[in-house]
């Protein structure tokens, strides 16, 4: 295990994952609602681990040689993100539905399904984790897998901090107006990413 490669992987992974995106917005929202937070964090981190490992194993070369796969994923992802944006706008319009207790919590299956879709229908995830991190890892050969462990650790740390740390912001979100602002921001992020995927 190379300490230098491990640290390089951690910093590279963190620099890519901290950017505001659909997945981070979703994890933050679930953390604020205290709804299936640990399963969401686990799924996000595990998905990143699988994608990073696939990139180091050589999947990045396969993806870049078949651009039609990324094109199809891009369109599916754009449609899915727009659906989520519309849902966030609807929640923002009805303050009474923003209370986590209102209408009961979403099922674990529904939440994790959304989480998986946000992860695997986003072509940028493949470009960041599989292609970019996979390529960077091989710059540290023969310690490529140490780099991968570092990048995966960054993912675990970030999602845990984001999901579990969001609870500290709950006093701020005790008012419906704060939830409305959050939902509007989520809608804006989702819609912007959908448009960027298409264009």
Provide the CA 182 distance to its chain's centre, in angstroms. Answer: 17
Residue range(s) defining the domain that contains residue 108: 3-198
Count of domains in the chain?
1
Whole-number average pLDDT of the chain: 84
Report the alpha-carbon distance of residue 128 to residue 47 in Å, rounded: 13
Q: What is the dihedral of CA 111, 70, 193, 161, to 10 degrees?
A: 50
Task: Give the whole-number percent of the chain exceeding pLDDT 70.
Answer: 90
| Band of pLDDT at residue 48, cut at 50, 70 and 90 | very high
35 φ/ψ angles, rounded to the nearest 5 degrees: -120, 110
Report the alpha-carbon distance of residue 192 to residue 72 in Å, rounded: 19
> What pTM was estimated for this model as a whole?
0.76
Q: Which residues of 135-167 are buried (b: 16+ CB within 10 A; e: fewer)?
A: ebbeebeebbbbbbbbbbbbbbebbbebbeebe
């Amino acid at each position: 295990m190379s300490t230098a490669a491990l640290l390089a992987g951690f910093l590279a992974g963190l620099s890519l994952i901290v950017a505001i995106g659909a997945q981070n917005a979703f994890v933050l929202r679930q953390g604020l609602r205290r709804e299936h937070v640990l399963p969401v964090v686990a799924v996000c981190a595990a998905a990143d681990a699988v994608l990073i490992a696939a990139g180091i194993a050589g999947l990045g070369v396969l993806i870049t040689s078949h651009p039609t796969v990324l094109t199809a994923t891009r369109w599916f992802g754009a449609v899915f993100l727009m659906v989520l944006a519309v849902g966030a706008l609807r929640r923002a319009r009805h303050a009474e539905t923003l209370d986590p207790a209102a209408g009961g919590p979403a099922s674990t299956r529904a939440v994790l399904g959304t989480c998986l879709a946000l992860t695997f229908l986003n072509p940028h995830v493949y470009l960041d984790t599989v292609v970019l991190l996979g390529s960077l890892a091989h710059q540290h050969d023969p310690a490529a897998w140490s780099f991968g462990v570092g990048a995966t650790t960054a993912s675990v740390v970030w999602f845990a901090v984001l999901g579990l740390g969001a609870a500290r912001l709950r006093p701020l979100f005790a008012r419906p107006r704060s939830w409305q602002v959050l939902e509007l921001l989520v809608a804006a992020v989702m819609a912007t990413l959908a448009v960027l995927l298409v264009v």
